[in-house]
Structure 1
Amino acid sequence: MYRILVADDEPIERLVIDKKIKAFFPDQAEVVLAENGIQAVKLFFEKDCQIAILDIEMPGMNGLDAAAEIKKESPHSSVVFLTAFDEFNYAKRAIEIRALDYLLKPGSDEDLVNVLEEAFNICDRYGSGVSTVDRAPIARPHDDENDTPPNVFVGQVQEYIDAHYKEDIALLDLAGVFGYSDVYFCKLFKQNFGKNFITYLNEYRMDKAKELLANPAINIKDVSALAGYRDANYFTRVFKRMVGKTPSEYRIGVMGI
């Protein structure tokens, strides 16, 4: 059972996220609710949580400070921020946190599910509270200079994903490559692609997996790695949710067997 802390000073926001998590992952996740940053830090450790979904603007202690406290004691825990576009003045501070992703309000159910499945995968692969390898913060992000035309930005990002989708890439990797803080890059990505990075990457990998499954010469066990997923069980779970069939069922349908 994965334990997820959800912290937001708005009761309705807390309940909405809580309800969605329980609806999508009824037998996989236990949700702990907090109404401010101070309470979030306290409950995260008291309840031995592995994942924290934190609003940024909260009284007493904001989400960034709460995340910093959590990371100090549990440096590899998965932290996801809840934020709105008008809060991107926090971008310079957020670069130090090394969050898994940012859910932009109002977020979609698909974005939430994809982010949490990635967090679950991290827990499964590395153990409770252990995340992917830390990357060094990128120096001097040019968050105040969006001088790249949208079509150029999209082309550059797509080119990078084309070359690296088989690797363990995350939003912070792309942010570093393009010289932005994580939060600001998240804003640009959402504006230009209409979805968050993890959702886009999963959809991209699913398309690759479908192409591979259409080739009977490729073993289904190898499709997972070739599509960019280390864990075959995680790949199967994501594939079935997004495609509606298991990889084996999809191949049977494609081959007309």
Structure 2
Amino acid sequence: MKTILIVDDEPRTRQGVRKTLEAWSSGKLRIETASSGIEAFEWLERYEANLLITDIRMPEIGGLDLVEKLNEMDNPPVVIVISGHPEFDYAQKALKLGVVEYLLKPLDKMMLVRAVEQALKREEDRHRIGRMEKLVDPKLLEAGEHEQKYSASVRDALRYIDDNLQESVSLRDVAEFLHMNASYFSVLFKEQTGLTFSDYVTRRRIQRAKELLASTHIPIAEIAEKVGYQTSKYFVKVFRSHESVSPGKYRNNVSDAGEMIQ
């Protein structure tokens, strides 16, 4: 269940926003409130919110100061700011801080609901992007972006590696497939991809494993076999050295049962 935290030192506004969103969401969202920026920050240190709706002008910690503090957190909520004053400086700073919407009091209920819908969609998109960033190896991504500039031999080598990840793939095997001298092929591969042959193969295997961990319920031992490791123990060791977590922990971090087709 997604959580919305409403922060406003005016009880009437705070409760009005809460009641509007509770009626709109029909119990599908968890709605929490805080009467000050300090109370909100303390709440967010203990719990997680998907969306923060905050007034700008509050005693001690104003809304934008609160947003600045939250942006230092690992997983800050998306933010809607509400204000009784159409001040350009506030609106400009809010945009720079990544605030999704700037709403003026008195609040139009339909505009509030539309802003919340937009903000929750933004939060979901950010979540998906975060999952993709965890999934993709940046060095493999960079190598793939330049693939069209590689020689035909190196492009053929990349396809051969992909087609044979489940097997034992050695530099000599690929060189023989390409009818090339192994030493020359090794230098050519590193020169064009920026990665040694063994590093590329390992990264590609880990990448395939990450895809399987994120999108299937296949046992880890079976995934190890599918990406070319003879023992799951060695696979776990290599995976941990690359990702700093075990395959099981990685699966828990990136999988989302609600987005998967069983």
User: For this structure pair, what is the TM-score category when the shorter chain's length is used for normalisation?
Assistant: 0.3 to 0.5
TM-score by length of 2: 0.45
Larger radius of gyration: 2
More relative contact order, 1 or 2 (CA 8 Å, 6+ apart): 1
TM-score by length of 1: 0.46
